[in-house]
Amino acid sequence: MMIETSSFFDIHKTETSRINQVDFDNLEFGRVFSDHMFLMEYENGEWMRGKIEPYGPFTMSPASMVFHYGQAIFEGMKAYRMADGGVSIFRPGKNIERFNLSAKRMCMPEVPEDIFMEALATLVELDKEWVPGGDESSLYIRPFMIATDSYVGVKASEKYAFSIFTCPVGAYYKGNVSVKVERNYTRATPGGTGYAKAAGNYAGSLYPSRLAREEGFDQLIWTDAIEHEYIEESGTMNAMFVLNGGLVSPATSDTILNGVTRDSVLTIARDLGINVDIRKVAVSELRSGLESGSITEAFGVGTAATIKPIAEIGIDGIHYPLKHVNHAKSVANQLLNELDGIRRGKIEDRHAWNIPI
Please identify, among 146, 169, 192, the residue that sits at the C-terminal boundary of a domain. Answer: 169
CATH number of domain containing 138: 3.30.470.10
Query: 146: domain range?
Result: 3-169
Q: Would you state the pLDDT for residue 209?
A: 97
Q: Would you state the pLDDT for residue 2?
A: 53
- 351: in domain: no
- 131: in domain: yes
Please identify, among 140, 169, 198, the residue that sits at the C-terminal boundary of a domain. Answer: 169
Q: Would you state the pLDDT for residue 291?
A: 97
- 353: in domain: no
142 and 256 both lie in a single domain: no
pTM here? 0.95
161 and 84 both lie in a single domain: yes
Counting the structural domains of the chain, the total is 2
> Which amino acid appears at position 306 of this protein?
T
117 and 55 both lie in a single domain: yes
- 41: in domain: yes
Q: Would you state the pLDDT for residue 239?
A: 96
120 and 223 both lie in a single domain: no
The one-digit pLDDT tens for each residue of the chain (357 residues) are 456 767 889 999 999 999 999 999 999 999 999 999 999 999 999 999 999 999 999 999 999 999 999 999 999 999 999 999 999 999 999 999 999 999 999 999 999 999 999 999 999 999 999 999 988 899 999 999 999 999 999 999 999 999 999 999 998 988 889 999 999 999 999 999 999 999 999 999 999 999 999 999 999 999 999 999 999 999 889 999 999 999 999 999 999 999 999 999 999 999 999 999 999 999 999 999 999 999 999 999 999 989 999 999 999 999 999 977 767 789 999 999 999 999 999 999 999 999 999
331 and 184 both lie in a single domain: yes
Number of neighbouring beta carbons within 10 Å of residue 68 = 14
Q: Would you state the pLDDT for residue 339?
A: 97
Q: Would you state the pLDDT for residue 3?
A: 65
107 and 133 both lie in a single domain: yes
